[in-house]
């Protein structure tokens, strides 16, 4: 059974694609010890492709899965705790924010949503109503508050 401290983090990141890992590396290097709820489909869309040839630093190209493995190693090197679970419920109505998976509940001072096109369809929220987060404006949603979250 996890202690309460293990379930609280300064920064919680939802999604483990390039955006999520970039956020994790920045937060980790700032010693914020981020928790990443990476999703069951961890690694994001680049796990679905072969050669990535437009990314600087890889003159011979790299496969998508290889690139995501490197991203993961780099994020973990700076202290990211990665969970390969989906976020199923959030409560942004008060601080600290709450994010749940099927197995555990977290509190976080900040939540970064990096799910790209895979819109998070939260089954339940604090109001008990289904909500959809518009992930294209996720940063804005989180910083400006819950009223920016679009009701389904
Ligand atoms: C076949 C293919 C080939 C591509 N090739 C290239 C290329 O060569 N070069 C290039 O620059 N771009 C390429 N792209 C585009 C590139 O993959 C995307 O631009 C990039 O992955 C977007 O990154 P992201 O982190 O924003 O989102 P994504 O990679 O989509 O990651 C989203 C993450 O959110 C997670 N998630 C979603 N819902 C939840 C939830 N409820 N709880 C927890 N996690 C959740 C997912 O599991 C995933 O890990 C390609 C895309 C595809 C599909």
Q: What is the DSSP string of the chain?
A: ---TGGGEEEEEEE--SHHHHHHHHHHHHTT---EEE--TTTTGGGGG-SEE-SSTT-TT-EEHHHHHHHHHHHHHHTT-EEE-----EEE-SSSSEEEE-SS-EEEEEEEEE--TTS--EESB-TTSS-EE--GGGHHHHHHH-GGGSEE-
Q: Which residues line ligand 1 (CB under 6 A)?
A: 14-20, 37-39, 41-46, 48-49, 52, 54, 86-87, 114-116, 118, 120
| Total domain count, the chain | 1
Residue-level pLDDT at 67: 97
| CB proximity list for 62: less than 8 A, separation 6 or greater | 51, 52, 55, 70
Q: What residue numbers bound the domain in which 136 lies?
A: 5-151
Tell how far the Cα of 16 is from the centroid of ligand 1, in angstroms.
8
pLDDT band at 118 (very low <50, low <70, confident <90, very high): low
Does residue 41 register a pLDDT over 80?
A: yes
Average pLDDT over residues 143-149: 40
Per-residue pLDDT of 50-104, as tens digits, reads: 999 999 999 999 999 999 999 999 999 999 999 999 888 888 888 999 999 999 9
Q: What percent of the chain has pLDDT over 70?
A: 74
Q: What is the CATH number of the domain that holds 86?
A: 3.50.50.60
pTM: 0.84
Tell how far the Cα of 94 is from the centroid of ligand 1, in angstroms.
29
């Amino acid at each position: 059974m996890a202690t309460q401290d293990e379930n609280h983090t300064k920064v919680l990141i939802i999604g483990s694609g390039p955006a999520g890992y970039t956020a994790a590396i920045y937060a980790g290097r700032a010693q914020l010890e981020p928790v990443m709820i990476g999703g069951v489909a961890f690694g994001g869309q680049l796990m679905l492709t072969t050669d990535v040839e437009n990314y600087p630093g890889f003159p011979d190209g790299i496969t998508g899965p290889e690139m995501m493995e490197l991203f993961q190693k780099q994020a973990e090197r700076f202290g990211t705790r990665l969970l390969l679970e989906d976020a199923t419920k959030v409560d942004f109505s008060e601080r600290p924010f709450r994010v749940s998976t099927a197995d555990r509940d977290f509190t976080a001072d900040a939540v970064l949503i990096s799910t790209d096109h895979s819109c998070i369809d939260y089954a339940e929220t604090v109001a008990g109503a289904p909500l959809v987060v518009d992930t294209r404006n996720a940063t804005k949603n989180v910083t400006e508050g819950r009223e920016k979250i679009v009701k389904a």
